[in-house]
């Protein structure tokens, strides 16, 4: 029997699906601690290390929360409530997916200069970069240059992030 449903085509069968689509694993955890505790040990270690790099460089004002089933670093609504969906704006998120882990760097999304800076710096580390528009996919902690993750997080102040968001909504 032939299916009449159209298939979603990727460039290569081995390419991962775009972040947030077919491979998404949504967690029902209500706290970061519960989220981390729910992960297999190897993934808990990797996500925990990336989380530490983010927290160690997170600019003033951003907060760590659970949002959309993943760990997110957001502009609190008390600071900027005028979002398109009533949810806090996330500058970065960290998630366990089915086939990989993902760091969503929304501070580089929509900023070609920041995205190119990240690509160039990542390549210079000798590690392979598997990146979508904002999503950096990785399978092992060794795939991630933690110092570079920290630098990327530190580059986006809350004021700059809000200003970029407001410009995009005009």
User: Is 18 part of a structural domain of the chain?
Assistant: no
User: Is 19 part of a structural domain of the chain?
Assistant: no
Decide if 148 contacts 164 (C-beta within 8 A): no
Rg (CA), the chain: 17
Number of structural domains, the chain? 1
Joined together, the tokens standing for residue 121 give: 């710096």
What domain range includes position 164? Answer: 32-168
Q: Given this model, what pLDDT does residue 24 score?
A: 52
Q: Given this model, what pLDDT does residue 17 score?
A: 40
Per-residue confidence in pLDDT tens, the chain, 170 aa: 444 444 444 343 333 344 544 345 678 889 999 999 999 999 999 999 999 999 999 999 999 999 999 999 999 999 999 999 999 999 999 999 999 999 999 988 878 899 999 999 999 999 999 999 889 999 999 999 999 999 999 999 999 999 999 998 88
User: Is 17 part of a structural domain of the chain?
Assistant: no
Joined together, the tokens standing for residue 63 give: 């907060």
Those residues whose C-beta lies under 8 Å from the C-beta of residue 4, and which sit 6 or more positions away, are none
**CATH number of the domain residue 94 falls in:** 3.90.1150.200
Whole-angstrom Cα distance, residue 65 to residue 29?
11
* Residues paired with residue 74 on neighbouring β-strands, in sequence order: 63, 90
């Amino acid at each position: 029997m032939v299916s009449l449903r159209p298939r979603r085509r990727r460039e290569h069968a081995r390419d991962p699906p775009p972040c947030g689509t077919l491979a998404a694993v949504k967690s029902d955890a209500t706290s970061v601690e519960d989220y981390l505790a729910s992960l297999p040990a190897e993934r808990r270690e990797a996500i925990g290390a990336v989380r530490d790099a983010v927290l160690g460089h997170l600019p003033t004002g951003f907060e760590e929360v659970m949002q959309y089933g993943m760990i997110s670093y957001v502009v609190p609504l008390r600071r900027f409530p005028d979002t398109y969906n009533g949810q806090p704006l996330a500058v970065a998120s960290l998630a366990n997916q089915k086939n990989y882990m993902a760091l969503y760097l929304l501070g580089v999304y929509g900023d070609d200069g920041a995205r190119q800076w990240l690509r160039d710096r990542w390549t210079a580390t000798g590690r392979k970069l598997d990146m979508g528009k904002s999503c950096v996919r990785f399978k092992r902690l060794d795939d991630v240059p933690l110092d570079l993750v920290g630098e990327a997080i530190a580059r986006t102040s809350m004021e700059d992030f809000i200003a970029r968001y407001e410009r995009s909504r005009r």
